[in-house]
Structure 1
């Protein structure tokens, strides 16, 4: 039960939302008992964006309003939707991919808010490739600027949204590695230039970083001096779950070990 000291919300998948614990208690109830807000992933995955060189957009807008209304009734108070952009040389992400994904995120956000659900806006720039820290920062700024332009065009209420961005890092195959301090400065600079102060919180994705890296980098980001008008925290999957799954390993007698590991990571 200590977990609610460190975790404020949990993103569920559709199937998990309707599952129950061994004693028959629905997962949503378990979370509520612990004062953890249930949320729901609502996108239906990435599809090719034809007319581009292997870029993509995200599907799932068609029946989103009906689904949001139902999810709200079923106890979800926030949602998340992931768009994916890739860096390749100086040509990608293309202007088309940036504008399309920004527009899709804005439509998703406005639909969520119409159903009284808080949208987490997630434009993920993949860490794949050999691009430099500086190139990632440039692209992150361009993408976030387009996202907030689209959210504004769609009259999305920014105070009722969250941003889930990538940290600014060199590509995984970049020969030049960056220190946590360098990653932190590049990340905070990109956010300062593009994310309005009206946005209450930024919950970073871990994007293929190890648990250690994700924790150390987030700590460094929070230590960067200067104006940071948003809460800067985490929305990690792998970087929170990997060691927990290793500790538990699916064995009933290891459940406590898994729980302890989760609390340790979340702290």
Structure 2
């Protein structure tokens, strides 16, 4: 089992941030634990003295706020995709991509905040959130709340000079959109080698954030790619795929073009 010197379960955001800001011990946030617990058990993480469990912070919720949904960071992936508005959003792209995050038991524990914080390179659900132009809501050690687009959001180390930042939720636009999803994997339910998610929003719902993978199209189409860098990213920028046991960097680069084209065709109804 993992050897930890400390375990904390604060009841307030300020309490959690104070614990993470305290430099007398190396503490990290614990959300669903689907990644962190395994890393501690296998000693992949040897830089942790204690965990700050976020379970008591009342961050598990989904509520509508004008033209968007506010989703709490401790909302599980299962709760996200089973919520009626989330399940129907953009032709059901969230449940369609969430099924590739892992088995049902994992999705019952994994959280939205953990998904955003990890930004795993082969996360198709993360790519769907990117294509939907989601914003991340976070709070710093002084209690200041910020909203940043997921495409621009990076989580600094809790012990950095800027101090800890906690993800408290995401803002999910309620867009009327068609979507496309294409992937290449070793088997149908494996994590992807490369994948793409495209969202073609009606009435320019995504236009304020710009377009990608179709910048000259009359419709507003955003395409996000998996497996082409250290995290999923919006198509159109530089990609730096690495080689691993699933495929070489060259193969990933070539296939990214293929899945991107297929996803855009699915979203726009055009030929790939």
Task: Identify the TM-score tier after normalising by the shorter chain.
Answer: under 0.3
TM-score of the aligned structures, taking structure 1 as reference length: 0.28
Higher-strand-fraction structure: 2
Higher-helix-fraction structure: 1
TM-score of the aligned structures, taking structure 2 as reference length: 0.27
